[in-house]
Chains A and B, each alone.
Chain A
């Protein structure tokens, strides 16, 4: 009996030491990694400025792991606190990156507003140069009242063939729309692109969407909240005229701006 216990307890001690040996080596590695992670965030002045608390916590956990590592049999605790330290270092870095991004965004936002103002002035100037700006009614001949609501048509002269980029001759119309929307802050619009039936359906659909999006982008750039704008592309569907003649096709290549009523209620999409 005695003999058996002795052998057993001997084996237990050996097993414990073996376990400790392995854990010790592993915890040493983890501790070192945590130490070097902490060193990196500690030396980063942005991290210190933005996430000092996380850095302090990383340091505290690391110190704890370090202290425990001198005790026998505390491998698991060392690994645990080293892990926490590493996590705090990572969190500190993420927080820093986030705040730096926000600071960058604030600067860009100022830049965007400045450019937006400049663009608005440039457009206004070019419209005034084209004359007649003041006599223009907000809702001009281009606007028709249909069962879909108020619809303004931008004809194909505003786009080059196959291109989605809005030409400068669109400035006046677009500015009118902007002014109209600014005077009627509750109104929203749906911008619908259409093409003629030349080319395949898929690329017509894409082109119609791109053209509508180009008009939407311009409105956003001129200060209209993008939440007020919906964009649809209908490809060669819903032609205004037969596609048989060049004149008919030109009529079908268009972007229509559908205005909601004063309460922001838009007619259903087609």
Chain B
């Protein structure tokens, strides 16, 4: 009677123990790829805060993998993947904006010269 709560607590702990996920090897690979891709388009830790987030989380996920704490590893790696993808998207958007600005200033210059030429 008096020992029942202890059983309950142990059962919960045991359940949590059983619920360990398999090692998220594929997810780790995906995250690493996303990080590489973000860097390949020119994202840097200093300019894009999301990339810093992604790298920190990925490092912690690697630590979790070593400790065989696979659920944490998977969650961190999943978040890191999307952080990296967002970093990549931000850089690409910024680049497209710069491209637009260059075109805009060229057009302004052309218009001005056309005005002068006539």
Contact = CB atoms under 8 A, between A and B. Distances in A.
Interface of A: 2-3, 5-6, 8-10, 12-13, 16, 76, 80, 83-84, 87-88, 90-91, 94-95, 97-98, 101-102, 104-105, 108-109, 111-112, 115-116, 118-119, 122-123, 126, 168, 171, 217-218, 220-221
Contacts of A9: 5-6, 8-9
Interface stretch (B25-33, B60-68, B79-87): B79-87
A91 B86 contact: yes
B89 interface: yes
B18 interface: no
Interface residues of B, number: 34
Contact of B111 (A97, A115, A126): A115
Which secondary structure dominates chain B's binding surface?
helix
The 10 closest A-B pairs by CB, nearest first: A94-B89, A101-B96, A87-B82, A9-B5, A115-B110, A122-B117, A108-B103, A98-B93, A9-B6, A97-B93
Nearest to A116: B110
A115 B39 CA distance: 37
B107 interface: yes
Contact of B79 (A2, A87, A105, A119): A87
A125 to B, nearest CB: 8
A94 B12 CA distance: 43
A168 B116 CA distance: 8
B22 to A, nearest CB: 17
A101 B6 contact: no
B55 interface: no
Contacts of B78: 80, 84
A122 B5 CA distance: 92
Contacts of A109: 103
A118 B107 CA distance: 12
A126 B106 CA distance: 22
Contacts of A97: 93, 96
